[in-house]
């Protein structure tokens, strides 16, 4: 029996295996209303039928101007929450767990009337210059994370993931590359972390289930102001103290800088492993983990606690049954007998 396809308990969340569908924007919302469509029910349902243990929805905005594009999901009103509840029920019917990734895109909100950010610096030449947030505006965004978490709770979501990675608003605050503030939300690492702490508190007071956070553990930036791994580990310890249940370790997205090393299978796992050395809470890994043998190796060697699959699941909805064959795991159960007969 493989570790990849065996049960896990992550901060109280029981999972039937260690494969998580990584959040991926599908840009399939219609009418700019942030509401799930039949596309999403089919898209996530297919992955539940394929036995993914946990599905994390694509980036779901906590307010309209926090969307990456107008075709993103949102969770700022009850209509959106009602549809989410139906999706949660469908995924539970199919035997998987489902969580929601809450996000504010900040300066990367490409369709916002006026993008906002910690400081008034654009992401790149193709993006507009954001307005620097005032303190009351920051407090409003924090409150909106809390309200969205309440809607996720009412919808029955199994977990909530705070998006603190890929250059979106919370990541923009965490990094001195994008945060040049000199008030209580900028300057030292602790001050740059402040909004994240407040968002966690707001989520926690509205949602009692597991709370995860996605972080980019490298900015691939060479300007000298980027967070070092020991800065990220300090943030990891604060997150642990704040009661976060898992750190979802990704990288990049803050600037258009790319890795200065070859991008190979499992290239982001070393960041997860370094984080794991410093915190007791579980850490997941993501990024070019298409090979189930590599996933099993990572888990067996305690380099990460869960495996997130993104594009591999988009390309191949049978990824888990293929992984079971590859790993000679006889315990893997397909959704029903017809599905398993189909494989043999």
Ligand X SMILES: Cc1cc2nc3c(=O)[nH]c(=O)nc-3n(C[C@H](O)[C@H](O)[C@H](O)COP(=O)(O)O)c2cc1C
Q: Name the residue among 281, 308, 275 with its Cα closest to residue 23.
A: 308
Q: Is 20 in the site for ligand X (CB under 6 A)?
A: no
Residue, CB closest to ligand X = 310
> What size, in residues, is the chain?
344
Q: Is 22 in the site for ligand X (CB under 6 A)?
A: yes
Q: Is 286 in the site for ligand X (CB under 6 A)?
A: yes
Pairwise CA distance, residues 192 & 77, whole Å: 29
Q: Which of residues 134-173 bind ligand X (CB under 6 A)?
A: 163, 165-166
Q: Is 18 in the site for ligand X (CB under 6 A)?
A: no
Burial of 34 (0-12, 13-18, 19+ CB in 10 A): buried
Q: Is 23 in the site for ligand X (CB under 6 A)?
A: yes
Member of 11, 16, 24, 150 binding ligand X (CB under 6 A)? 24
Q: Is 321 in the site for ligand X (CB under 6 A)?
A: no
Q: Is 310 in the site for ligand X (CB under 6 A)?
A: yes
Pairwise CA distance, residues 107 & 114, whole Å: 9
Q: Is 25 in the site for ligand X (CB under 6 A)?
A: yes
Q: Name the residue among 278, 270, 213, 205 with its Cα closest to residue 245.
A: 213
Smallest distance from ligand X to CB 27, Å? 8
Binding segment (CB under 6 A) for ligand X, from list 111-119, 147-155, 283-291, 317-325:
283-291
Pairwise CA distance, residues 8 & 76, whole Å: 32
Q: Is 287 in the site for ligand X (CB under 6 A)?
A: yes
CB 7 within 8 A of CB 16: yes
Which is nearer to ligand X, 19 or 181 (by Cβ)? 19
101 DSSP 8-state letter: E
Smallest distance from ligand X to CB 253, Å? 8
For tokens 């064959």, name the residue. 325
Contact characters 26-65, ligand X, x per CB under 6 A: --------------------------------xx------
Pairwise CA distance, residues 294 & 183, whole Å: 45
30 DSSP 8-state letter: S
Binding segment (CB under 6 A) for ligand X, from list 112-120, 125-133, 199-207, 306-314:
306-314
Burial of 156 (0-12, 13-18, 19+ CB in 10 A): middle
Which is nearer to ligand X, 99 or 186 (by Cβ)? 99
Member of 151, 214, 216, 279 binding ligand X (CB under 6 A)? 214
Pairwise CA distance, residues 304 & 145, whole Å: 28
Applying CB under 6 A, the residues found at the interface with ligand X are 22-25, 58-59, 101, 163, 165-166, 214, 250, 286-289, 309-312
């Amino acid at each position: 029996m493989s570790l990849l396809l065996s049960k896990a308990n992550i901060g109280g969340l029981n999972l039937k295996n260690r494969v998580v569908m990584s959040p991926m924007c599908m840009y399939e919302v219609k009418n700019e209303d942030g509401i799930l469509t039949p596309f999403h029910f089919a898209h996530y349902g297919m992955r539940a039928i394929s036995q993914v243990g946990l599905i994390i929805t694509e980036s779901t905005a906590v307010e309209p101007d926090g969307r990456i594009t107008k075709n993103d999901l949102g969770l700022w009103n009850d209509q959106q929450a009602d549809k989410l509840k139906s999706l949660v029920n469908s995924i539970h019917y199919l035997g998987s767990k489902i969580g929601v990734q809450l996000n504010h895109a900040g300066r990367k909100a490409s369709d916002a009337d006026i993008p906002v950010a910690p400081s008034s610096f654009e992401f790149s030449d193709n993006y507009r210059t954001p307005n620097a947030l005032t303190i009351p505006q920051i407090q409003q965004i924090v409150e909106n994370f809390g309200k969205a978490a309440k809607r996720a709770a009412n919808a029955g979501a199994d977990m909530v993931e705070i998006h603190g990675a890929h250059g979106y608003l919370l990541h923009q605050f965490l990094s001195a590359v994008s945060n040049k503030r000199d008030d209580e939300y900028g300057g030292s690492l602790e001050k740059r972390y402040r909004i994240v702490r407040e968002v966690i508190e707001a989520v926690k007071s509205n949602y009692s289930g597991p709370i995860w956070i996605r972080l980019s553990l490298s900015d691939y930036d060479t300007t000298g102001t980027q967070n070092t791994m020991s800065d990220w580990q300090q943030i990891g310890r604060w997150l642990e103290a704040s009661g976060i249940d898992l750190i979802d370790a990704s990288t990049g997205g803050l600037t258009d800088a790319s890795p200065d090393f070859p991008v190979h299978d499992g290239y982001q796992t070393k960041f997860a492993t370094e984080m794991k050395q410093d915190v007791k809470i579980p850490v997941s890994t993501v990024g070019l983990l298409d090979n189930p043998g590599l996933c099993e190796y990572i888990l067996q060697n305690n380099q990460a606690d869960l495996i997130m699959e993104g594009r591999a699941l988009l390309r191949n909805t049978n990824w888990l049954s293929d992984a079971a064959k590859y790993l000679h795991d006889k315990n893997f159960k397909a959704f029903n007998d017809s599905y398993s007969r189909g494989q043999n």
